[in-house]
Amino acid sequence: MDRAFASKFAKSVFLTVCGILILMYIGSRFFTHLDLGLYGYMVGTIVFVCGFFYRFLAWFDRPPTKVILQKGLRALFRKSTPQTAVEHLATYRFIWNRGWYRWTQHILLGWGCILSAFVTFPLVFGWMYFTMAENGYYSVVFFGINLMRIKADGLLGFLFYNALNFTALMVIGGVCMALYRRLKNMQARSEQTFVYDYLPLYMLLFVSITGLMLTFCNVFLHGWGHPVISMVHQWSVIITLIYIPFGKLAHIPFRPMSVLARNYREHYGEKQMKACKVCGSPFVSAQQSEDVISVLKQNNIEFKMDDGFHLAELCLPCRRKYRMSRFTGIPTHEIRVKEANQNAKG
């Protein structure tokens, strides 16, 4: 079967798109519950899937990534995996160390985008839809199964109908916080660029605002201007979906890989730690040190020093001291005094 495709990437994309079409066929009851008004979103999502696979396979082919993901998968069933997954994918505890402001910003942005995807994709592919029942009730159908009946004018119905409005407000809040920090924080201003850092935020802001304008047109303007705003919003979503795999927003779908990286570090760190060749303090797992040396060799990079050790066998403070010694001629790496920020966190 591999000979039928130009590359593994082409094969993976083809099989994934076929899988989506099969699920659409099943979930929409043989394509009878597809909303043609959402056709543009469906095409944009399929292009997003193709772009994501391209980006992921290109990223996975890098030797460092391949080592971490393969060995991280072997340690996937560690007892700490559920806790790690919650901290990295749900509560963002690792960002809390940087301050409550950045944590709130990421919670609003991250969960706003994730919840929007959970609502939008099932609707676009026909996996979830609503049917009118008797006596003012709606039936929520998922993959052809009637999950529940909700009152059309009840609280649960209100939350269902306005889910995307709530997530849009979350995204707008997170984007505004991110923009304020980038404009006020001196370090952020010096490091950020418009195309890579600001443009994604403006795209999310535009998508969220035009989405809220659809509700505003229907509720307060009785449908006036809805066709134009609907087209503008649809195109903004499609362009954003196509952009996501290739820009800064790619870290949203890539975020689950951080769980594997954490498992890799913890699993091999529990087995054996690597002692620094200069100061003797453990700094990484012995396996990680060996993997770094092996990956560098694959790229024809050799950091074997005249002193008889590899640069990857030094902890970060000693590595910095060794670099200084190469410039100054003074053996600063032999000085046993630790740096003041040796154990700094955050």
Tens digits of residue pLDDT in 50-98: 888 888 888 888 888 888 888 888 888 888 889 989 998 899 988 988 8
Sign of CA dihedral 19, 20, 26, 29: negative
Inside any domain, residue 83: no
* Mean pLDDT within 274-292: 86
The more confident residue out of 233 and 5 is 233
The more confident residue out of 9 and 217 is 217
Same domain, 51 and 189: yes
Same domain, 196 and 315: no
Which tokens sit at 165?
A: 């409005």
Q: What percent of the chain has pLDDT over 70?
A: 95
Tens digits of residue pLDDT in 169-214: 999 999 999 999 888 888 777 788 888 889 999 999 999 999 999 9
CA distance 201 to 178: 8
Count other C-beta atoms under 10 Å from residue 72's C-beta.
Answer: 22
Inside any domain, residue 86: no
Of the candidates 145, 261, 244, 158, the residue with the CA atom closest to the CA atom of residue 203: 244
Inside any domain, residue 346: no
Same domain, 177 and 30: yes
Same domain, 127 and 218: yes
The more confident residue out of 27 and 340 is 27
The domain spanning residue 159 has which CATH number? Answer: 1.20.950
Inside any domain, residue 263: no
CA distances, 79 to each of 62, 76, 85, 263 (Å):
29, 9, 11, 10
- Give the pLDDT score at 337: 63
- Give the pLDDT score at 305: 74
Same domain, 51 and 187: yes
Inside any domain, residue 208: yes
Inside any domain, residue 230: yes
Average pLDDT, the chain: 85
| CA angle (300, 306, 308) in 5-degree steps | 90
Inside any domain, residue 148: yes
- Give the pLDDT score at 65: 87
- Give the pLDDT score at 233: 94
Residue ending a domain, choose from 200, 232, 256: 256
Count other C-beta atoms under 10 Å from residue 337's C-beta.
Answer: 10
- Give the pLDDT score at 66: 87
Same domain, 112 and 51: yes
Per DSSP, 29 falls in state: T
Same domain, 302 and 243: no
* Mean pLDDT within 149-160: 87
Same domain, 204 and 147: yes
- Give the pLDDT score at 345: 47
Same domain, 162 and 45: yes
Which tokens sit at 104?
A: 């709130």
Inside any domain, residue 64: no
* Mean pLDDT within 213-239: 92
- Give the pLDDT score at 346: 39
The count of structural domains within the chain is 2
Same domain, 252 and 284: no
* Mean pLDDT within 125-143: 84
Same domain, 111 and 148: yes
Whether residue 320 is predicted with pLDDT greater than 90 in this model: the reply is no
- Give the pLDDT score at 333: 63
Same domain, 289 and 220: no
Of the candidates 120, 110, 322, 159, the residue with the CA atom closest to the CA atom of residue 238: 120
Residue ending a domain, choose from 256, 288, 306: 256
| Domain that residue 145 falls in | 2-59+96-256
Residue ending a domain, choose from 231, 256, 281: 256
Q: Which H, E and C letters describe 213-234, residue by residue? A: HHHHHHHCCCCCCHHHHHHHHH
